[in-house]
Amino acid sequence: MFAMHPLFVFVAAAGVSVLAPLTLGVPAGPGPCLAPQQWEGRWVLYDHSTGRNSRAAVSYDGLNQRIRVLQQHKKHTPCQKFFEYIYLYQSMVVFQIDQKTKECSKIAMTEAWDPFDIPDNSTFEDQYFIGGPGDNVEVQEWSDRKPARQHETWVGVYTLKDCYPVQETYTRNSSVTTSTRFFNLQLGISDPSIFIPPSTCQSARPEMMVESDC
């Protein structure tokens, strides 16, 4: 899960079609599965407060508590800037790099590391298939809902077979804040050097750069 990113984490708002739900409220197996700790892929982060989608290539290194996010260019947004973000949670800093100019910002983080996984104390919500006959994936849905609290603040959907993240949604004050869909995931980190900030970050500015020139 995550928190700090101007981007990140899925559910009804993401438009996932669900077929053949199994019995609700019956945990399948002894507990949550163990999610992969290193993977690369893509995600779409939807910020419900702004109504904006952010598409990015993502490299996730849970072993070393770091994430690299490379925003994808959109031709229909001429004023938009596109950034690379390197989140280093062991150092509690995030680097924001302009993909075009290579200008760099270095910002201290206050949010603690929150991995993309299913915490052991999570509540089982449902098990179902995404897709249709002959072309579907079985997933489980978990949340942080507890008997003493009616509403959850996190809902995670993970594949049943290999425990890949499919969707995560975070809420705050009973309103959805971020909803993230994950796809095209591959195990491992192809190039660990992507977590090393470029040389332009040696003279990084201390504040975030704006996302648009307009």
Domains of the chain, each with CATH number or no CATH: 38-203 (2.50.20.30)
pLDDT confidence band for 195 (50 / 70 / 90): very high
Q: What is the pLDDT of residues 32-84, one digit of tens each?
A: 999 999 999 999 999 888 888 899 999 999 999 999 999 997 766 667 789 99
Question: Structure pTM?
Answer: 0.82
Residue 30 has pLDDT above 90, yes or no: no
Q: What is the pLDDT of residue 48?
A: 87
16-29 as b/e, with b when 16 or more CB fall inside 10 Å? beeeeeeeeeeeee
Q: What is the pLDDT of residue 91?
A: 97
Q: What is the pLDDT of residue 73?
A: 78
Residue 149 has pLDDT above 90, yes or no: no
State how far the Cα of 17 lies from the Cα of 25, in Å rounded to an integer: 20
State how far the Cα of 30 lies from the Cα of 126, in Å rounded to an integer: 14
Q: What is the pLDDT of residue 194?
A: 97
Q: What is the pLDDT of residue 12?
A: 31
Q: What is the pLDDT of residue 52?
A: 86
Q: What is the pLDDT of residue 15?
A: 35
Mean pLDDT of the chain: 85
DSSP letter at 210? P
- Higher pLDDT residue, 123 or 76? 123
Strand (E) or helix (H) holding 62: none
Q: What is the pLDDT of residue 210?
A: 87
* Closest CA relative to residue 129, chosen from 119, 141, 120: 141
Q: Identify whether the C-beta of residue 1 lies closer than 8 Å to the C-beta of residue 168.
A: yes
For the residues 25-36, what does the mean pLDDT come to? 74
State how far the Cα of 110 lies from the Cα of 116, in Å rounded to an integer: 18
Residue 17 has pLDDT above 80, yes or no: no
pLDDT confidence band for 4 (50 / 70 / 90): very low
pLDDT confidence band for 21 (50 / 70 / 90): very low
